[in-house]
Amino acid sequence: MGFHTFVICAYGRSPYLEACIRSLKAQTAETEIICATSTPSEYLEELLGKHGIPLFVREEGETGIGNDWNFAVEKAEGEYVTIAHQDDLYGRHYVEELARAAEKWPDMTVFMSDAVLIKNGKLTWGGGVELVKKLLRLPWRATGLCHLPAVKMWGLVWGNPVMCPSCAYKKSRLPKPVFSGEYDFVLDWECMRNMAERPGRFVCVEKPLLYYRIHDGAATKACMENHRREKEERVMFEKIWPGWMPDLIMKGYRLAGKNYG
């Protein structure tokens, strides 16, 4: 078993996939790179063959992002696994920072970082939404306390301030199944809440080690347009908060969602 695996979850014909691959291959520390898909194609096979990346095809089970991600995690051989979204880029020191954190905190179960947004081909600041996420992650900067369930859970009761593609999970400590097939958008939020209740430490590095691309073909954009995101977020808040609180929080989320488009 190696230290870390990037699993690219691929679908369709992303024009950004090769750039993602190149960012993974440019890492300053050693890592395994594989690709998992439930929609194989000649395009995908040729591109991965060009870069010498193994392709794993999920041929069984129900469709859905959660099932695709569970399959991806299953195929990773590293002690830590990062589900790389095919449209995003990773800073070349991502794995190096992960290894440094793992050496310092052997009980680390989730590693995460800050991100820079890419919109219309340009790096951009996410404005107030990103500032709120940073504030919610602030307790996780006190890494010495981030083995405590209450500290780990703090940021997650107000939403999900974690940039999902930035996460590296300790595979041996993940719940099974890792992700629910019930959701398309909040599945990583639910996973983080499950991890917060389990023994282990969250480590948050507030460096932009991820470049998160916003575009019309993204799954997040689709979830917003069909209101699936709003419905799933409401379900999560109703699990956490009683009475009128979910309504109040969702009003703020509707305003925040306008930032994405």
pLDDT tens digits for range 54-112: 999 999 878 899 999 999 999 999 999 999 999 999 999 999 999 999 999 999 999 99
Q: CB of 1 within 8 A of CB of 27?
A: no
Asked whether the beta carbons of 40 and 110 are under 8 A apart, the reply is no
Among residues 58, 61, 4, 66, the alpha carbon closest in space to that of 35 is found at 58
What's the burial of 46, exposed, middle or buried (CB within 10 Å: 0-12/13-18/19+)?
exposed
Alpha-helical runs (H) found in the chain: 17-25, 42-51, 65-75, 94-104, 128-137, 149-154, 187-197, 219-225, 228-240, 245-257
d(CA 145, CA 137): 13
**Of the candidates 111, 103, 55, which has an alpha carbon nearest to the alpha carbon of residue 80?**
111
CA distance 132 to 67: 30
pLDDT at 223 (0 to 100): 45
Cis peptide before 165 (omega within 30 of 0): no
CA–CA separation, 97 and 153 (whole Å):
23
Tokens 């917003």, located at residue: 224
pLDDT at position 255 is 60
Show the low-confidence residues of the chain (pLDDT under 50): 221-225, 258-261
Closest CA to 119 of 211, 24, 6: 211
Give the residue from 215, 23, 211, 208 showing the smallest Cα distance to 119.
215
80: Cα separation from own chain's centroid: 13
For residue 197, the SS3 value is helix
Q: What pLDDT does 155 receive? A: 87
Give CA separation, 195 vs 2, 4, 157, 178, in Å: 22, 19, 13, 10
Q: What are the residues whose beta carbons fall under 8 Å from the beta carbon of 18, sequence distance 6 or more?
A: 47, 51
Distance between CA atoms of 41 and 216, rounded to whole angstroms?
22
Note the pLDDT of residue 205. Answer: 96
- Pair 7, 34: CB distance under 8 Å: yes
N-terminal to C-terminal alpha carbon distance within the chain = 41
Beta-bridged to residue 253, according to DSSP, are none
